[in-house]
Amino acid sequence: MDDLQTWKARRRAVILAHNYQPPEIQDLADHQGDSLDLSLLAARTDAPVIVFCGVHFMAETAALLVPGRAVLLPDLRAGCSLADTVTAADVRSLRAMHPRAAVVAYINTSAAVKAESDVCVTSANALRVVSSLPEEEIIFIPDRNLGQYLAGGTAKQVITWDGNCRAHNEVRVDEVRTARREHPGAFIMVHPEVSPEVAAQADLVTGTGGMVRQAWQRPECEFVVGTEAGLVYRLRKENPDKRFHLLSPSLWCPTMKYTTPSGIVSALRDLAPRVEVPPEVAGRARQALDRMLELTEG
């Protein structure tokens, strides 16, 4: 009775896995994607139970989009150190300092921070959403590297916060140079959470969804991948005739690896740990997410 498929059927659950999840979790998931894909899937599914294989802010996002449904995060230790760098009180202080600016929250933030923000973005839609805002001044939280990337890609004045994703921020310029030397002809793509110096050396800066499409569509047979190692497993699986190299050993997120098959079985059996958002935060946080979805889909 501890069989995952049995419990999944019994709960009529859907299993969503982020692109950074371990291979065995990617293999058993119903759907895989970046946080935008998974948010859209969560918003559209009618499954009464969603098992979110990712980190806490992602499960919270799903819980905001499907109020009343059970969103399970198999291991509550799966947090995001980038999301933890900014609090709701920090956002209120920033607003007081820059009253004309729109507050744009990266999806990697808590629901409490989203509730203080005007709109959310993911790596897949950040440029599009920020460009479409009427405000000329933008407060972007919490990833400074992504904020600088947005400043370079739009005509906006972007006020950044001093947060970063350790895995992406630790990638070094000399690692890109080495990859170019060792894999001449490979297409080098990096995530916008890497430093601007590293981004400047790459062929393309894009989120994981963009990397998946590039791997399908580009003529090159070899790619260097500058994002968390979990994506490389997906790219290899979907493109068995192409070669993929991880840009740096630093690209490994420990909290993404807390999900295990047995943790999923326990979560389905116990309907816990369940992620819920307090009502005083949920309404305002949902508005910031809905605005993102309108600007992305519209």
Phi, psi (rounded to 5 degrees) for 32: -130, 150
Residues that bind ligand CIZ (rule: CB under 6 A) add up to a total of 11
The DSSP bridge pattern shows strands 13-18 and 222-226 to be: unpaired
Site for ligand CIZ in 15-74 (CB under 6 A): 18-19, 34-35
Query: Which residues, listed in sequence order, are joined to residue 188 by a DSSP beta bridge?
Result: 224
Instruction: Tell me which amino acid residue 89 is.
Output: A
CB of 193 to ligand CIZ, least distance (A): 8
Site for ligand CIZ in 128-187 (CB under 6 A): none
Q: Exactly one of 45, 61, 108, 160 binds ligand CIZ (CB under 6 A); which one?
A: 108
Torsion of Cα atoms, 40 then 38 then 132 then 111, to 10°: 100
- Report the 10 Å Cβ neighbour count for 140: 27
CB of 81 to ligand CIZ, least distance (A): 12
**256 vs 268, beta carbon nearer ligand CIZ:** 256
**95 vs 252, beta carbon nearer ligand CIZ:** 252
CB of 6 to ligand CIZ, least distance (A): 30
Instruction: Report whether 146 contacts 123 (CB < 8 A).
Output: yes
CB of 122 to ligand CIZ, least distance (A): 4
Q: CA 213, CA 165: separation in Å to the nearest integer?
A: 23
Q: Exactly one of 110, 208, 214, 259 binds ligand CIZ (CB under 6 A); which one?
A: 208
Instruction: Name the token pair of 39.
Output: 């948010």
User: Given the rule CB under 6 A, which residues bind ligand CIZ?
Assistant: 18-19, 34-35, 107-108, 122-123, 191, 207-208
